[in-house]
Amino acid sequence: MSALNITVTPADGLIDRPRRIIVTGAAPGEPVQLSSRTLRAGVAWQSSARFIANATGHVDLSLAPAVDGSYSGISAMGLLWSQKPEQEGRRELFHHDVQQPLVTTLHAHAMNGNAVADAVLVQRLCADGVTRREIREQGLVGTLFLPPASTETGADQDSYPAVMILNGSGGGINEPRAALYASHGYAAFALAYFKAPGLSDYISNTPLEYFEKGLDWLRTTVAPLNDFVALSGQSRGGELVLLLGAIFPEKVSAVLAYVPSALVHSGQSACDPAIGREGPTWLLNGKPLTHQWENNRHASWAPFDEGAPPQRNALAMLTALQDKEAVAKARIPVEKIQAPVLLFSATDDGSWPSSVYAKMVNDKLKEVAHPYAVEWHDYRDAGHAILFPYVPTTQISYAHPVSQRIHTGGGTPAANAQADHHAWQHAQQFLKNAIAAIQGRAIFMRKEVS
């Protein structure tokens, strides 16, 4: 029998690039144990699974089902998304310095003998040539990532389409997503609005003019290709990008809303305790926007507060939806958006009912015959955390970063991994289509003028 060997193709690449992992040199029909170990922000994450070698002594993870272990069935990248942290409660998936790659060691053991093999798989958020710049100016707090000169969007070195990325109720600066967008050719601005240096620790009373300033700053700073600036946000950020698209429609070229709300919400788990979870989140011209909990005759926190652990915030949100008058007053006027809209939701969302909310947005845009592209992808059995592919999806219940209350985002690791993969593919194509549409209109206008 030849020596056991693992090949990873490609061994090194962007984090969203699929890999082919193949073990050779086992005996036909021999059980082979494969394990993975990745250091993430100083904490080791691990997974393992058992496979049966085929008639040629090979185990190809894109073809061979895992028969036991951290995941089951066929999944080429299952050893990555099924990883769990060695330290309970840790959730950081990326190094604090996103320019540092994630290095995974793969180990194979042919179980009928002593043959072993190792290989290394490297995942990067930043492509070669991506630059990172901390932004602390004009009251803005964030990080700007710019792509390498030659990019897949076809932009030249001095002109890129832009994306502004907004986090959810955990706050902070979403550098991983921004770095990956820049690696795909976008000027990506991860803008914090709370729980970051120089900003409030809480989401309560956040002025929407802050984001308008961010949009203006981004345009002035990078001079985007064809003036294209998209908004991408998840959870409270998903609510926020729909809201910004409706309030500042002339400044938003596309909206990507991950597990969003169709309604304005109160501070909830990210609130300032002095204001309370039923206090306002968003201010416009110094005045709070009406939210779904105001004067709501049916809204109750009891299903969340008194529910069986891990608790589901979505159960409380469903009580608020019973008051149709309060819902109508809190509805985000998405019909005012003057751009393509992409919606991602999940049927087992434990944080709030994103499937119901996304349907409300989609239905309204259909009702008004929205003149731009609208896409809605609703992921069965998935939960609140939809990111990008080939990252661990196992940490479903956790302490909220602000309130520290334990709750569940919902979903299963396998369904969440599928949502990660599918959503990222569609996000990339959606942006390309939106950019192409603007380029087409620009060409048409130039011809009209000439």
Q: Which residues are designated catalytic?
A: 235, 349, 384
Q: What is the dihedral of CA 229, 92, 47, 77, to 10 degrees?
A: 0
User: 268 by DSSP, 3-state: which?
Assistant: helix
- Which of 222, 211, 205 has its CA nearest to residue 141? 211
CA 262, CA 34: separation in Å to the nearest integer? Answer: 44
Kindly state the helix (H) or strand (E) to which residue 238 belongs, with its residue range: helix 236-247
How far lies 422's CA from each of 28, 70, 102, 269, 388, in Å? 34, 21, 22, 29, 8
Residue with tokens 């709750």: 407
- Which of 27, 143, 38 has its CA nearest to residue 82? 38
CA 184, CA 260: separation in Å to the nearest integer? Answer: 24
Angular region, 192: left φ>0, alpha ψ -120 to 50, beta rest: beta
- Which of 408, 396, 357 has its CA nearest to residue 378? 357
- What is the Cα gyration radius of the chain? 23
Amino acid at 44: A
